[in-house]
Amino acid sequence: MRLAGNILVSLAGLGGVLFVVTYGLMAPWWRSWAGRSLMSLGFAIAAACSLVTISLWWPDIPWRPWLRIVLYGLAAAATWIAFATVVVSQIRRRRP
């Protein structure tokens, strides 16, 4: 069971990184709030899953605490960007 979970989180991290790279290179995501929000959430998922994957397969990396702070900090910022995107877009949509 543990191995299956480790493999699944590793696949999720890899998929998240591939999504962010592919979407970043192939789509003009920066042109709209929806695109920025999708990129932010994709990054947050990729960062969290990648950090878990690194911790599982390479637990003794000395710079892991710094990587953890940076990735989780960026993931937190990304989720708040996505939240702000939803709020702003809904407020704009309701105005006459």
Q: What is the pTM of this model?
A: 0.77
Q: Torsion angle, CA of 35/41/42/46, rounded to 10 degrees?
A: 160
Predicted confidence at residue 40, as pLDDT, reads 87
CB 84 within 8 A of CB 75: no
Confidence band of 15 (pLDDT split at 50, 70, 90): very high
Percentage helix, strand, coil for the chain under 3-state DSSP, each rounded to 5: 90, 0, 10
Predicted confidence at residue 57, as pLDDT, reads 86
How does pLDDT run across 22-43, given as a tens digit for each residue?
Answer: 999 999 999 988 898 899 889 9
* Structural domains of the chain, count: 1
Q: Which domain holds residue 14?
A: 2-94
Confidence band of 95 (pLDDT split at 50, 70, 90): confident
